[in-house]
């Protein structure tokens, strides 16, 4: 069944107050709910009240305290209907649920001895009957009762207002959240957890208690998240004028979690892997991920909670805006350029692929079958790019004015993406009518650039044409409005003064407004043919076509003042070389790439973090994304050829770089040290790709002596991916021995093996799934083995015999009954079959049909697979 945006109607009833009493037991939980319901005055009255419910055992229904006779209500699979509903009434419902058997991890469930919840998007209906839609906002009072010894910590949203002992060794704690909220922001936790305290003084001088709750074995892993939280709280005050609004802010870590984290009001719940860190157990990449996710969830307090979504088609209202906010926050913490590179790399690899596949959807979709399938890179990352474009078009001051107006105008409301854009328009005076197409049209626009130079008139002419390929249900697209930043490099590599014909000079970098299918720009006073630096900072989520020569790319690599475009030129050069080899147009690796890399390795004027990014070859996933009828094996071999030939030619430079960036005695989470680790580990990986014996010695000693997980895992990964089979096994065994008690580190150990391109991985993957540490019920384990194989180990996943595809289909079928959300995510690589050469595409579709043939497929997996086959 498909849900459509055009069918949206206001709710016929509203709920002002919710009183919950949740009794937690070892065999289940009883939920007593009292709802103050009244008819919505602004819609046509309906006599029946329909409450959503799923997997609930109804024990009692009352109206204003009176038991309802059987003729007054109907219980069906997914709803409870109350007939002849008065204008207002207190609806009482008692339900019995089984958190212990909840393997979907939606609603209330148990994870390693602790009770916790995940209600977004539609989990609350698995706790009790309710109007489970985001435009119904109520005040919640939550009383939790549980055994005192087993569950000393009982948490819910808001402030604690009461606690007392009960009979039979039980106790109760009561919480009250003064802010009306949709049910998806409800949360509850019960467990035997240790509490870490901290505090934050807000800009207006209020003191907020910060508390982090984790299992005792994790108490040393909280420092980074707490420090990041305080930085994020300050940043939101300074950059957006947003202050925290409750007396307490809580973070809880749970091991079993479908997603990264959840912004429940005052009680954020995190996947352990996205919040817990110590230098010994977490890599720099994990530190960065925690920094941005902690900030993301915190920022939702305003962009998501105080102002929420009217319906789930508006999901990007909160997610796109909040991702934009967290990425700007991260950019302010470390290197802005490196942050931008990471975001764009991800966007161009994963989101562009989604946008050209069967699940392509606009950031405000028009329809869905299962909303959990729409927590996508499009809604999140492309959504953030759309907000970023508004920021570029308006400039920082007007954008801030728009954001202030949005929060002021809509505080306490459930609104739409259109309300967001309107606030931006009203505050800035800009007309964003055409810009709104970004919300309705799917697909990645393409910009084709042509240029010409006229020496006689000293003018440089640039023409920009835009188009957008068709996507499912959208054959034609109207032109987009987008900001396009550019600069022109003179023969000395400096940015030229830019002046458009008939306009004032506009500096050395400028933003053009693109609105038409084709536009021409004429720059005057240009004394020699410039090299254009196009789409600086990636100001719009588009594909760029321009006939760069390799010499132009070399020039940009060494001179562009825009760090992002310097990196982009390095990627384009490497891509061009790899594609030429894969297509057999060239046999040898172009010497210019070798000399560009050699120069980068010796360059100590550039930020080492940027150098490391520029030296990283484009991923196989990205190369596939760029190629219409991809032959994975050929692309992989060409990429390997480039890698090994670079490593051979630059062997001495790589050893020298390795020595020049020794590990300091103590671990520090600073951009400088992280850049050094990135370069050191890259050099090691390159050297091991050519089976360099001396590098193997370095790797062994780095592995043994490392005081942090970045270096230890860097050494392990380099060896695992090399041909040194014996060393590989020794280090893998040693690593497991040392870290088997820490599930997060075991996940890294799984992923390093599952993602290894070494031949013969599939039998090894199957062996990993038999390993004692593997657990089908834990999404992180499933992701670190099966997800890493199908998502990162592309050369083995796409094995020509199709074994990777049938393996994945089998695992999806196995997982679907217990956790459909994760099964639906796992299956998606198979839906990208159109990208591949015909034999491959056929085998992928066969695997999809195998899944489709299952008699009882979940709605989640059904939607992805059926769209994937159409």
Question: Which residue number, 262 or 577, has a Cβ lying nearer to ligand ARG?
Answer: 262
Q: Between 261 and 695, whose beta carbon lies closer to ligand ARG?
A: 261
Among 259, 384, 699, 731, the residue binding ligand ARG under the rule CB under 6 A is 259
Would you say 557 and 570 are in contact if contact means Cβ atoms under 8 Å apart?
yes
Residues counted in the chain: 870
CB nearer to Zn ion: pick between 110 and 318:
318
Smallest gap from Cβ 120 to ligand ARG, in A, equals: 4
Determine which residue in the list 263, 451, 579, 711 makes contact with ligand ARG, applying CB under 6 A.
Answer: 263
What is 744-800 written as a DSSP string?
HHHHHHHHHHHT--STTHHHHHHHHHHSTT--TT-HHHHIIIIIHHHHH-HHHHT-T
By C-beta, is 417 or 428 nearer to ligand ARG?
417
Q: Tell me which of ligand ARG, Zn ion, none is bound by residue 133, counting a contact when its beta carbon lies within the kind-specific cut-off of 5 to 8 angstroms.
A: none
Residue count at the site for ligand ARG (CB under 6 A)?
12
* Residue whose CB is less far from ligand ARG, 118 or 570: 118
Full DSSP string of 600-629: HHH--SS-HHHHHHHHSPPPHHHHHHH-TT
Distance, CA of 554 to CA of 576 (rounded, Å)? 12
Part in contact with ligand ARG (CB under 6 A); list of ranges 129-137, 229-237, 253-261, 856-864? 253-261
Please identify which residue in 63, 173, 261, 709 interacts with ligand ARG, judged by CB under 6 A.
Answer: 261
Cβ burial of 60 (10 Å; 0-12, 13-18, 19+) is exposed
**372 binds, options Zn ion, ligand ARG, none, Cβ within 5 to 8 A by partner type:** ligand ARG
Half-sphere exposure of 790 (CA within 13 A, CB side): 26
Q: Does 523 bind ligand ARG (CB under 6 A)?
A: no
Q: Is 459 helix (H, G, I), strand (E, B) or coil?
A: strand
> Residues 671, 335: contact at Cβ < 8 Å?
yes
Tokens representing 38?
Answer: 């009244």
CA distance 625 to 632: 11
CB of residue 105 to ligand ARG, shortest distance in Å: 9
Catalytic option among 291, 297, 370, 850: 297
Q: Which does 282 bind (CB under 5 to 8 A by kind): Zn ion, ligand ARG, none?
A: none
Q: Smallest distance from the beta carbon of 311 to ligand ARG, in angstroms? A: 15
| Residues lying near Zn ion in the complex (CB under 5 A) | 319, 322
Find the part of the chain contacting ligand ARG (CB under 6 A) among 225-233, 259-267, 359-367, 660-668: 259-267
Task: Using only the alpha carbons of the chain, give its radius of gyration.
Answer: 28
Task: List strands edge to edge, sheet with 543-545.
Answer: 518-523, 459-467, 446-454, 543-545
Q: Report long-range pairs for 549-554 (Cβ below 8 Å, ≥24 apart).
A: 550/576, 550/577, 550/590, 550/592, 551/592, 554/592, 554/596
Dihedral in degrees, nearest 10, Cα atoms 544, 546, 549, 553 = -40
Stretch of 77-85, 201-209, 256-264, 358-366 contacting ligand ARG, by CB under 6 A: 256-264
Classify 584 as helix, strand or coil: coil
Closer to ligand ARG at the Cβ: 372 or 533? 372
Mapped onto helix, strand or coil, the DSSP state of residue 590 is coil
Please say which residue, 118 or 793, places its beta carbon nearer to ligand ARG: 118
> Alpha-carbon torsion 514, 518, 522, 528, what sign?
positive
Question: Least distance from C-beta 429 to ligand ARG, angstroms?
Answer: 32
Shortest reach from residue 333's CB to ligand ARG, in Å: 19
Closest-CA residue to 290 (of 244, 336, 242, 221): 221
Q: Distance between CA 514 and CA 521 in Å, rounded?
A: 11
Contact string (CB under 6 A) for ligand ARG, positions 786-805, x = contact: --------------------
CB 296, min distance to ligand ARG, A: 6
How far apart are alpha carbons 352 and 541 in whole angstroms? Answer: 9
Q: Which does 262 bind (CB under 5 to 8 A by kind): ligand ARG, Zn ion, none?
A: ligand ARG
**Minimal distance, residue 312 CB to Zn ion, in Å:** 13
Residue 291 touching ligand ARG (CB under 6 A): no
- For residue 284, the partner it binds in Zn ion, ligand ARG, none, with Cβ less than 5 to 8 A by kind, is none
Residue 687 engages ligand ARG in binding (rule: CB under 6 A): no
339 sits near ligand ARG (criterion: CB under 6 A)? no
How many Å apart are CA 759 and CA 795, to the nearest integer? 9
Task: Output the CA angle 324-328-332, nearest 5 degrees.
Answer: 170
Tell me how many degrees the CA angle 668-669-674 measures, rounded to the nearest 5: 95
Q: In this complex, which beta carbon is closest to Zn ion, that of residue 300 or of residue 422?
A: 300
Q: In this complex, which beta carbon is closest to ligand ARG, that of residue 120 or of residue 673?
A: 120
Residue position matching structure tokens 């990645």: 444
168 catalytic per annotation: no
- Find the shortest distance in angstroms from Cβ 127 to ligand ARG: 14
C-beta of 134: minimal distance to Zn ion in Å? 14
**C-beta of 372: minimal distance to ligand ARG in Å?**
5
Contact 782, 774 (CB under 8 A): no
Q: Which does 174 bind (CB under 5 to 8 A by kind): ligand ARG, Zn ion, none?
A: none
Instruction: State which residue, 120 or 256, has the beta carbon closest to ligand ARG.
Output: 120
Q: How far apart are CA 320 and CA 313, in angstroms?
A: 12
Contacts with ligand ARG in 613-652 (CB under 6 A)? none
Q: Calculate ∠ Cα 58-61-65, nearest 5°.
A: 150
| Binding segment toward ligand ARG, per CB under 6 A, in 234-242, 260-268, 491-499, 757-765 | 260-268
Residue placing its CB nearer to Zn ion in the complex, 95 or 264: 264
Closest approach of Zn ion to the CB of residue 323, in Å: 7
Pick the closer one to ligand ARG by CB: 373 or 831: 373
Residue 375 near which of Zn ion, ligand ARG, none (CB within 5-8 Å, type-dependent): ligand ARG
Q: Applying CB under 6 A, which of residues 13, 186, 375, 538 lies at the interface with ligand ARG? A: 375
Q: How many CB atoms lie within 10 A of CB 776?
A: 16
The DSSP H or E segment spanning 90 is: strand 88-97
Which of 235, 243, 117, 231 lies closest to 175 in space, CA to CA?
117
Name the binder of 674 from Zn ion, ligand ARG, none, CB < 5-8 A by kind: none
Strand, helix or coil for residue 771: coil
The reply to whether 319 sits near ligand ARG by the rule CB under 6 A is yes
**Surface-to-core class of residue 176, CB atoms within 10 Å of its CB (0-12 exposed, 13-18 middle, 19+ buried):** middle
Q: Which is nearer to ligand ARG, 50 or 296 (CB)?
A: 296
Smallest gap from residue 236 Cβ to ligand ARG (A): 16
Element (DSSP H or E) covering residue 686? helix 671-689
Residue 121 binding target from ligand ARG, Zn ion, none, CB below 5 to 8 Å by type: ligand ARG
- CA 849 to CA 822: how far, in whole Å? 19
Residue of 292, 239, 157 whose CA lies nearest to 407: 239
Q: How far apart are CA 21 and CA 13, in angstroms?
A: 22
**Closest by alpha carbon to 304, among 247, 266, 333?**
266
Taking CB under 6 A as the criterion, the residue among 128, 372, 708, 778 binding ligand ARG is 372
Binders of ligand ARG in range 28-67 (CB under 6 A): none
Q: Report the DSSP pairing between strands 267-271 and 261-262.
A: antiparallel
Window 106-145: residues binding ligand ARG (CB under 6 A): 120-121
Q: Hey, which residues are catalytic here?
A: 297
Residues of the shown chain interacting with ligand ARG in the complex, contacts defined by CB under 6 A: 120-121, 259-263, 296-297, 319, 372, 375
């Amino acid at each position: 069944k498909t849900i459509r945006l055009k069918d949206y109607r206001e709710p016929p009833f509203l709920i002002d107050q919710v009183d919950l009493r949740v009794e937690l037991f070892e065999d289940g939980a009883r939920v007593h709910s009292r709802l103050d319901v009244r008819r919505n005055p602004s819609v046509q009255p309906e006599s029946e009240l329909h409450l959503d419910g799923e997997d609930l055992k109804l024990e009692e229904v009352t109206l204003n305290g009176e038991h309802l006779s059987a003729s007054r209500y109907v219980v069906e699979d997914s709803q409870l209907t109350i007939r002849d509903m008065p204008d207002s009434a207190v609806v009482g419902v008692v339900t019995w649920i089984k958190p212990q058997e909840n393997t979907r991890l939606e609603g209330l469930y148990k994870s390693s001895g602790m009770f916790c919840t995940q209600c977004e998007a539609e989990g609350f209906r698995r706790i009790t009957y309710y109007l489970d839609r985001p435009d119904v906002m109520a005040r919640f009072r939550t009383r939790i009762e549980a055994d005192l010894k087993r569950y000393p910590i009982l948490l819910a949203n808001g402030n604690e207002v009461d606690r007392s002992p009960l009979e039979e060794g039980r106790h109760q704690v009561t919480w009250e959240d003064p802010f009306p909220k949709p049910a998806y922001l409800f949360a509850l936790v019960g467990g035997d957890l240790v509490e870490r305290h901290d505090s934050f003084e807000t800009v207006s001088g209020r003191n907020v208690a910060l508390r982090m709750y984790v299992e005792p074995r994790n108490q040393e892993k909280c420092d980074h998240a707490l420090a990041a939280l305080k930085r994020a709280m300050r940043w939101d005050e300074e950059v957006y004028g947003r202050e925290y609004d409750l007396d307490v802010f809580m973070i809880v870590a749970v091991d079993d979690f479908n997603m990264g984290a959840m912004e429940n009001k005052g009680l954020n719940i995190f996947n352990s892997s996205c919040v817990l860190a110590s230098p010994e157990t977490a890599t720099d990449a994990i530190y960065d991920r925690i920094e941005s996710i902690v900030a993301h969830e915190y920022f939702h307090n305003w962009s998501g909670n105080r102002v929420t979504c009217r319906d789930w088609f508006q999901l990007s209202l909160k997610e796109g805006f909040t991702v934009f906010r967290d990425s700007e926050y991260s950019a302010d913490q470390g290197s802005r350029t490196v942050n931008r590179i990471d975001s764009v790399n991800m966007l161009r690899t994963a989101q562009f692929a989604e946008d050209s596949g069967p699940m392509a959807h606009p950031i405000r979709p028009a329809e869905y079958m299962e909303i959990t399938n729409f927590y996508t890179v499009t809604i999140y990352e492309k959504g953030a790019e759309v907000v970023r474009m508004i920021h570029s078009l308006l400039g920082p001051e007007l954008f801030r004015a728009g954001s202030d107006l949005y929060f002021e105008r809509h505080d306490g409301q459930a609104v739409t993406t259109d309300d967001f854009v309107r606030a931006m328009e009203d505050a800035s005076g800009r007309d964003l009518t055409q810009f709104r197409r970004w919300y309705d049209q799917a697909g990645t626009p393409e910009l084709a650039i042509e240029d010409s130079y006229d020496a006689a008139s000293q003018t440089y002419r640039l023409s920009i044409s835009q188009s957008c390929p068709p996507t499912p249900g959208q054959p034609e697209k109207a032109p987009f409005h987008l900001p396009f930043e550019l600069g022109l490099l003179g023969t000395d590599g400096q940015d030229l003064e830019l002046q458009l014909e008939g306009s004032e000079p506009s500096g050395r970098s400028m933003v053009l407004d693109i609105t038409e299918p084709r536009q021409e720009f004429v720059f005057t006073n240009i004394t020699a043919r410039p090299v254009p630096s196009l789409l600086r900072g990636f100001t719009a989520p588009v594909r760029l076509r321009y006939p760069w020569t390799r010499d132009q790319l070399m020039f940009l690599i060494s001179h562009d003042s825009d760090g992002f475009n310097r990196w982009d030129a390095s990627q384009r050069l490497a891509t061009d070389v790899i594609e030429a080899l894969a297509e057999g147009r060239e046999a040898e690796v172009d010497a210019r790439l070798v000399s560009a890399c050699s120069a980068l390795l010796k360059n100590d004027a550039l930020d080492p973090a940027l150098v490391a990014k520029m030296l990283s070859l484009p991923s196989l996933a990205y190369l596939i994304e760029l190629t219409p009828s991809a032959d994975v094996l050929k692309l992989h071999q060409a990429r390997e050829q480039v890698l090994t030939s670079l490593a051979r030619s630059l062997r001495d430079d790589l050893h020298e770089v390795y020595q020049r960036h020794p590990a300091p005695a103590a671990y520090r989470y600073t951009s400088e040290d992280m850049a050094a680790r990135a370069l050191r580990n890259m050099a090691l990986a390159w050297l091991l790709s050519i089976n360099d014996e001396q590098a193997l010695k370095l790797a062994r000693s780095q592995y043994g002596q490392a005081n942090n997980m970045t270096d230890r895992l860097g050494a392990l990964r380099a060896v695992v991916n090399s041909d040194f089979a014996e060393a590989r096994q020794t280090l893998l065994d040693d690593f497991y021995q040392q870290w088997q008690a820490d599930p997060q580190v075991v996940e890294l150990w799984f992923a390093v093996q599952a993602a290894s391109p070494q031949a013969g991985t599939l039998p090894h993957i199957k062996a990993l799934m038999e390993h004692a540490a593997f657990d089908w019920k834990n999404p992180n384990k499933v992701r670190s083995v099966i997800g890493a194989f199908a998502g990162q180990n592309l050369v083995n996943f796409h094995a020509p015999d199709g074994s990777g595809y049938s393996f994945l289909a089998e695992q999806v079928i196995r997982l679907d009954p217990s956790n459909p959300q994760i099964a639906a995510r796992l299956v998606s690589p198979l839906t990208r079959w159109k990208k591949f050469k015909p034999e491959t595409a056929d085998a992928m579709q066969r695997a999809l049909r195998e899944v489709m043939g299952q008699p009882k497929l979940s709605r989640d997996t059904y939607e992805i697979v059926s769209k994937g086959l159409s």
